[in-house]
Structure 1
Amino acid sequence: MPNQHITEFLNYYIKLPNPQYAVLLKGKWGSGKTYFINQYKKQLKKKYIYVSLYGVSSYEEIETKFLESSNPELFNKKTIYASVLAKAFISDKIQGSLKEIKKSLSSLNAKEKILIFDDIERCSLKIVDLLGYINNFVEHQAFKVILIANEEELDKTDKYKNIKEKLIGKTFEFKTNPSDAYDSFLSELKNDKSIKENILEKEKSNILEFFEKSESNNLRALRQSLLDYERFYDEVLIKHFEKKEMIKDILYCFFIFSFEIRQGNEEVLALLNDKQNSNFLSLSSLSKYKLYGDFNAIIPIVQWKEILLNSNIQKESITEALKNSKYYIDENTPSWRKLSYFHNLADDEFKVLLEDVFQKFKLNEYKDYKHFKFVASMLLYFQEKELFSIEFEKLFDLIKINFEALFDENNFNIEDIYFIIKDIRISDSSYENIAYFESKNFERLESYINKVLEERKILKQKKDLEKIILAIKEKDTQILLDLLEGKNDRRILDYKDKPIMNYINIDKLFKTLIKTDGLTMSYFGESIKDRYYKEKEMLFEEDIFLKMLLKKCEDYIKENKGKLSTHNLNERIVKNLKIALSQIEKMKNEIISYNKNYSKQIPELFTNIIHNTCNKDYTKEQLNAWANPNIDYEVWEKRLNKTKPYLAILDEKLVGFTEFYEDYIDCFYVHHKYQGQGVGNALLSHLLNQAKQNKIKTLRVDASITAKPFFEKHGFKEVKKNYVKRDNQDLINYSMTLNI
């Protein structure tokens, strides 16, 4: 018993006739002080008055708590709701008054009782005055007093040490006893589904081991985790009770996650909040828990986040994940799923399953995009690990042929796939809660798929540009609006935020416009006018299209005066084109040349962006090597005077910057809170205009892992992968080029 000596001393202390000092029981929040005193109170029976000072802001509140604690049957919140009423009520029962209580508790027969004051540091009264008040009971009325507090907080109070010397004669530092607390917490459970005896008593040693390894000394975290797990078990897991191994593995996940979250483990919190991360969370990185090699989180990461951070148990989704797990494999389970848990297979079984999966793959039977990608990743992994005897090129050629065929047979739809890739609620890193098999060959597969998808997207864009012209010709304003303004449907590829108008056949568009009616012209013109505004900077590069179409319209108007079509063209198209160009020019002015007034903000923004945006792709040590938090402003000022970066300003605030010299883009950064709002597009559009003015044909950039997708989206192609050494850290980036 780690705190037995405290119990023994308190037993000695309460027998003293007039000790003239108080005993302080100190410990950090959640260390179990209150749990200990609650156990000790049972030993005292009713010979104590216990008062929690949490949030107490007046001495009258303390005295009311005295009444409630000393005679709970007589005094409670219903009977003591105002001091006046309390005085009248008490006078008939115990011949005392609240005034007298301020001086003495004898009227409550409290002389033989121990006064216990808990949560001293959480009292709203001034600590020194409060302790002086308590000292009155010790020094002048011979009470025995036990104080319970987090002394680290009391030490922050001026003059605390002075009053402590006068009031407190003995101090004990409380040592956490998780085992006893655990048993006590179990007794608090409802235990409707017998979780206590069936699960938690049997797993006590493992849960306490996790608690210890999490380095948490907060027993409140242990208690809350037990209560949360009971709710989770009662609502979901009880229905899977026969799957003992699964119940045990989920319990391990639950308590490890719960303890780490309450400890503020940034790695776990980042994974739970990473919307693009796998639905499947490996715990192998948490090596201190010494879990077996293929241990995994079973439930999708998005569900763990809901359970642990939002207390939201989505029963249907969780049940589906459990049913799809390895714990439910039987004779009806498809071969690909059995094979995904290959670690548990015998040699002959593995061989048979692999052959079955490969034959089905050869016949192109996996027709769902993510299913196809998962099976392909699995085959590539086994080939790379020499578990599948087939030449890589032969296997990869088969994958490419089948992938293209699924598009040609309309099994794959480019809009559906882009919905999967772009929707933050869906992760393209797993299939049915099983992660894609990672390998070097899988990286090649991803590059190939991205290339095909880009080609298919461009092909669809060309067809849709023809649809825009056809809609004008056929006066179908609804299709026109759907393509240019969108349908607010994530599953449909529209162009409300995609700069495609530069690629339309302007001659064909113009000839169609002058032949259509005024209403259709109006719809097209209004859509163009409303297309360009703040947060849509990615569309500003369409000013090339706008200027070319405007010139054609103005030339036509000069030569065809007096026609209705000319009038409509001027009123419905030309005026709106001019408004759109004016809006773009006005908003482009928010990209400004270097101003020395921002010389301090730029390095601060640089450091902030790297540590807040790139932390998913680089380690903390790499980030510090890349952007040292201790900024050297003098070095930066010299650099900025030389490079003179372009600055993105929104509402007079610096939100991004980039350096550009000759054909090279350097330091291309956007504030993490403004990403996805068109700031990066506006900066890049500005650089493209600069390049065109200077007749530069190719742009170069060395993009980080984090920035690479942005540049790929804008047509940059990877040339090579680089390993840059900074402060003994290897940082990966990619040399990329764009032909203008």
Structure 2
Amino acid sequence: MGHRQEKINVNQHIIDYLDYYLDSQSVYKSNYAVLLRGDWGCGKTYFIDKFIEEKKKNSKWNFCFLSKQNKYKFIKVSLFGLKNTNSITEKIFQILYPIRASRCTKFIKYTLNKHLKIDLDLILKGSINLNFIDDYQSKNKVKIIFIFDDLERTDIDIKEILGYINYFVEQNNFKIILLANEYKLLPNKENDNSQNQLYLEFKEKVIGKTFEVKHSFEMILEGFLEHHKIDLNEELNLFDIIKEVYESSGYKNLRYIDQSISEFKYVFNRIDSKYKQNIEFLSQFAKVFFVILIELKNGNLTEDTLNPLKDTNHTLKGDESKENKLSSLFKKYNLSVSDILFDIGDWEIILVKGDISQINNMIQGLHFFIEEEQQSWVKLWHFRELEDDEFDIQLNDMIKKFKNNQYLDIKTLLHVTALLVFFNNQKINSYALEDIKNQMLSNLENCYSDGQEGVLIEDTFWGAYGLGYYDKTSLEFQNMFEVFKEQNKIYYDHAVNQKKRDDLKNIISNLSKGNIKEISDFLNGDGLYIPIFVEKDCAKEFVGTVISVRNQKMFDFLYNIFFSRYSNRRNFKDYFSQELDFWKEVQKELSNQPVDLRDRKVKQFNLNLFKEKVTEIVDKMQNHNQ
């Protein structure tokens, strides 16, 4: 309740004045506007929305309120991105006379013209005055209040927009509330030209009162959380987590906080309930989520920083400058790189690509949820807290599993190797380094024995499963890791190439059977950002299958799957550049196609489009690879 009182006090003088401005009979025929100013994202829109909401609470009218026998209707229009004042007039008209669908337009035009004497075409062209507003007020016995938001972010020429607002105030005596980051409009060191001088003259003439909107972050955050209604575990204090991140960030953009809460809700709702019971995990997950997302929104983090290697989603590549940047960034929030839970590339998949299909698999592998009988290495990671007899039990268990090749997860295997090297260096156990290396390689081979794709690890900077690799700076471990990395890459490349071949074979097989949905599910799911069409040897079979299927299936595949996969130009460079040789081979097969389709006009039509698209893909890939 203390937070709520603080918020009211901060802007109560603005609320009091707006009540006076709207209610006072002396200003009913107003000849000035009120400006609410503040930096972008500081809470101006939130403030005015809450002001309107409070006015609506005691009213049965939608977006209207009664006060002193007057009924008011707010018309709120964002000027952001609008190109001309006709667009504003159109938005106002659509609010007053909502047009639900384009197929109703003719009927509405007829009705408005016949019964209200309003010509919609002339209004939308901006060719007449704003009498339709007076008509609405008269017929509905309301007084309209106009709120124009984002004045500094409009694409309308400053002279045109200011003249438009001036017309509302001086000629029609409408009450106007403007919202703007006025610093962008006033003459100053950054802005000192004729347009800014024009705004200054306009302000002196039209704006009668200016207020600086301030905010109580606590109350606004409270409002955001109430609005989004996240079904949280009562023990999770999301309010304090977000507040801590907000204060540590140094950014004051409330809009980003609201957006981030919305995105958190989306991800949170897709986390299995069994994981939501662990408050330690949820608290750490929420903090890292908001840290990375807010830094992304403010531009201090980029997609390139989160995903340094673009040719696959399964890799992390060392980049000293990026590592240093990320380390210093996390320190701002009292985080170390081992606190971020997932690989940094996984966060890029979640927060940049918006792909959360694997979120529960990622969480499952965290140290919070590793089964008791499998977590001796996790307990040893915290060995300083163990009693000596417990330490011996856990160490013997880990070594036994290590010698029996039971560590089938590559990141876990590297953790175990790091611990054994550390214990050797500290003379805590006598497992020889050479024996550790040989057994590590034996485990590593076993990791790929069942056709698993594995994971490519290029450095040890990030750790895994929310834990850093032990003793990663020691010479002994670095030498061990080089052996690990080299052999792992051989296994990994072979497994990935085999999987790509298998995936392509499955696509061809499903296409021949007409199973278009299975292809779509794969290419829009696990295969969305992965180069699949890479095996040149499969090009001939692929082309033959495309030609042989029924026209409907060919159409579905080409138009609904194939064409859409290559519609985003950036994907050629980031994800699909490895497919160039395959599509060049397809291009060759199409040009040498011996099948006579002269009597199959539809098939020939579809095939010609396919040829054109393949040529376009090849050209774009070649341009991006230069």
Q: TM-score of the superposition, structure 1-length normalised? A: 0.51
Residue matched to 2:245: 210
Q: Verify the 8 A CA contact 2:407 2:443 in the aligned structure 1.
A: no
Residue matched to 2:357: 314
CA distance in 2, matches of 1:402, 1:142: 85
CA distance in 1, matches of 2:150, 2:55: 20
How many Å apart are 1:420 and its aligned residue? 12
Q: Is 1:241 paired with 2:276?
A: yes
Q: Is 1:173 paired with 2:212?
A: yes
Residue matched to 2:12: 4
How many Å apart are 1:308 and its aligned residue? 0.8
Residue matched to 1:438: 471
CA distance in 2, matches of 1:12, 1:80: 43
CA distance in 1, matches of 2:223, 2:288: 23
Alignment CA distance shift 1:114-1:340 (3 Å): same
Alignment CA distance shift 1:199-1:141 (3 Å): farther
Residue matched to 2:479: 447
Counterpart secondary structure, 1:227:
helix
Q: Deviations over 1:173-215 (max 9, x none)?
A: 22244333333333443x5xx6157477x42122122122212
Q: Verify the 8 A CA contact 2:257 2:294 in the aligned structure 1.
A: yes
How many Å apart are 1:297 and its aligned residue? 2.2
The partner residue of 1:289 within 333, 354, 362 is 333
Alignment CA distance shift 1:150-1:266 (3 Å): same
Alignment CA distance shift 1:214-1:260 (3 Å): same
Residue matched to 2:292: 257
| 1:289 partner letter | Y
Counterpart secondary structure, 1:105:
helix
Alignment CA distance shift 1:424-1:105 (3 Å): same
CA distance in 2, matches of 1:186, 1:211: 14
CA distance in 2, matches of 1:324, 1:234: 19
Q: Verify the 8 A CA contact 2:264 2:289 in the aligned structure 1.
A: yes
Alignment CA distance shift 1:188-1:105 (3 Å): same
CA distance in 2, matches of 1:141, 1:369: 73
Residue matched to 1:37: 48
The partner residue of 1:195 within 217, 227, 231 is 231
Residue matched to 1:27: 38
1:631-670 correspondence to structure 2 within 5 Å: none
Q: Is 1:133 paired with 2:174?
A: no
The partner residue of 2:111 within 71, 75, 89 is 89
Larger relative contact order (C-alpha < 8 A, sep ≥ 6)? 2
Tell me which protein shows more helix as a share of its residues.
2
Q: Verify the 8 A CA contact 2:152 2:181 in the aligned structure 1.
A: yes
Alignment CA distance shift 1:450-1:230 (3 Å): closer
How many Å apart are 1:117 and its aligned residue? 1.5
CA distance in 2, matches of 1:61, 1:364: 69
CA distance in 2, matches of 1:146, 1:212: 31
Q: Is 1:338 paired with 2:379?
A: yes
How many Å apart are 1:303 and its aligned residue? 1.9
Alignment CA distance shift 1:295-1:34 (3 Å): same
Alignment CA distance shift 1:173-1:347 (3 Å): farther
Residue matched to 1:375: 416
Q: Verify the 8 A CA contact 2:31 2:173 in the aligned structure 1.
A: yes
Residue matched to 1:186: 225
Q: Verify the 8 A CA contact 2:36 2:213 in the aligned structure 1.
A: yes
CA distance in 2, matches of 1:402, 1:44: 72
Q: Verify the 8 A CA contact 2:37 2:181 in the aligned structure 1.
A: yes
Q: Verify the 8 A CA contact 2:340 2:466 in the aligned structure 1.
A: no
1:398-409 correspondence to structure 2 within 5 Å: 398-404=432-438
How many Å apart are 1:60 and its aligned residue? 3.5
How many Å apart are 1:285 and its aligned residue? 6.0
CA distance in 2, matches of 1:453, 1:103: 75
Residue matched to 1:56: 82
How many Å apart are 1:267 and its aligned residue? 8.8
Alignment CA distance shift 1:490-1:78 (3 Å): closer
Alignment CA distance shift 1:345-1:22 (3 Å): farther
1:494-643 correspondence to structure 2 within 5 Å: none
Alignment CA distance shift 1:137-1:266 (3 Å): closer
Q: Is 1:13 paired with 2:21?
A: yes
| 1:4 partner letter | Q
Counterpart secondary structure, 1:20:
coil
How many Å apart are 1:241 and its aligned residue? 2.2
Counterpart secondary structure, 1:147:
strand
How many Å apart are 1:38 and its aligned residue? 1.3
CA distance in 2, matches of 1:320, 1:344: 29
Give the paired residue count. Answer: 443
| 2:378 partner letter | R
Q: Verify the 8 A CA contact 1:117 1:148 in the aligned structure 2.
A: yes
How many Å apart are 1:26 and its aligned residue? 1.7
Q: TM-score of the superposition, structure 2-length normalised? A: 0.60
Q: Verify the 8 A CA contact 2:408 2:446 in the aligned structure 1.
A: no
Residue matched to 1:350: 391
Q: Deviations over 1:656-694 (max 9, x none)?
A: xxxxxxxxxxxxxxxxxxxxx99xxxxxxxxxxxxxxxx
**RMSD of the alignment, in Å?**
4.4
CA distance in 2, matches of 1:233, 1:367: 29
Alignment CA distance shift 1:289-1:121 (3 Å): same
| 2:154 partner letter | C
Q: Deviations over 1:29-55 (max 9, x none)?
A: 322222211111234441133223233
Alignment CA distance shift 1:437-1:251 (3 Å): same
Structure 2, unaligned runs of 5 or more: 1-6, 57-63, 65-71, 310-315, 500-624
Q: Is 1:146 paired with 2:177?
A: yes
| 1:52 partner letter | S
Counterpart secondary structure, 1:299:
coil
Residue matched to 1:109: 137
Counterpart secondary structure, 1:286:
helix
CA distance in 2, matches of 1:151, 1:66: 24
